[in-house]
Amino acid sequence: MQLSKAIKTHSQHGRKKQGERILKIANKLFYYFRMLVLLCFFLFPFFVMFCLSILTDGEVVQQLLFSPSGTIEVGNYLSILSIGSDYLRYFGNTLQVSLILAVGVPLVSSMCAFGFSKLHFYGRDTVYSIVLGTLMIPSVVTLVPLYVLYSELGWINTLLPLWVPSLFGGGATNIFLMRQFIKGVPDDLISAAEIDGASVFRVYLTICLPLCVPIMLYIAYQSFVGGWNNFIGPMTYLENGSKYVTLALGVYFDYGPVSDSYANAAMAAGVVMTLPSVILFIFFQKHLIDGVAVSGIKA
């Protein structure tokens, strides 16, 4: 009787575990299904852009998404990537600005954040509040004054207005993110370094900076993408025909509504323009996620 009861209990326990296993698999499949739906939703515009970019001129005029004959036209890509093309010049100008921002903005914002979080000086909190208060100022309000200032400096039709101002502090948002991260660094660690004779700059360089790699990579990526996709700045400070025209502005002038090019050429230009940001995100997504989780030292 006891043996029968034990067998029955074991059987019930086995069915329970099997049911839990099936439920776990079902939940996982449902999770992947939802992720697949979201993936298709967000990638659909890029998919349409790519499909249009490989159509011929005659097919794109017919407003087709797929070539009826199965023809793949790569001439648009070859023309924009050919040596000496305007597109490569736009690409080079934009890459120059974006790389400067990706390297410079994290460094200068980390310096400001280190001062606001670990240094003690009169009016520190007041100055920090003023820095955060600049977030309330719409960027469009400052366009005209900045244009007048840069015009007096002789910076119009150059790349200087697109990266020099960003190196003066790195922006209030980046300073805020970096400060929240540096606040997680124990003060005892800073004090121990100072007792050993380390200067303020050495403490920043050898202790805080290495610990800030995740948030700095996040800010570097955001700065790169911001410079890469910047349209308002080049539209304001650069003119069509300037040798310093950036990619976003060049695509607008050469393939946008003001041009007479076909949609397939514009889509090919858009696909190539999108690739650098996507590739960077794929390679650094783990560090970007760590950077969003604003914390200092991890076990």
For residue 39, CA distances in Å to 3, 35, 44, 52, 97 come to 53, 6, 8, 20, 31
pLDDT of residue 297: 41
Nearest to 120 by CA among 131, 130, 128, 108: 128
pLDDT at 149: 93
Report which DSSP code applies to 197. Answer: T
pLDDT at 109: 93
Going by C-alpha positions, the residue among 48, 97, 47, 67 that lies closest to residue 223 is: 97
Give the CA distances from residue 94 to residues 82, 170, 248, in Å, rounded to whole numbers and listed in that order: 17, 18, 8
CB-CB contact of 57 with 262 (8 Å): yes
Q: How many whole angstroms from its chain centre is CA 247? A: 16
pLDDT of residue 292: 62
Q: Given this model, what pLDDT does residue 89 score?
A: 92
Q: What pLDDT score was predicted for residue 246?
A: 92
**Residue showing tokens 């009787």:** 1
pLDDT given at position 120: 83
Q: For the chain, which ranges sit under pLDDT 50?
A: 3, 295-299
pLDDT recorded at residue 9: 59
In this prediction, residue 203 carries a pLDDT of 85
Give dist(CA 134, CA 22) in Å, integer.
54
Predicted local confidence at residue 295, as pLDDT: 44
pTM of the model: 0.82
The pLDDT score that the predictor gives to residue 148 is 92
Longest dimension (CA), the chain: 100
The residue type of 60 is: V
User: Residue 136 burial by CB count (10 A; 0-12/13-18/19+): exposed, middle or buried?
Assistant: exposed
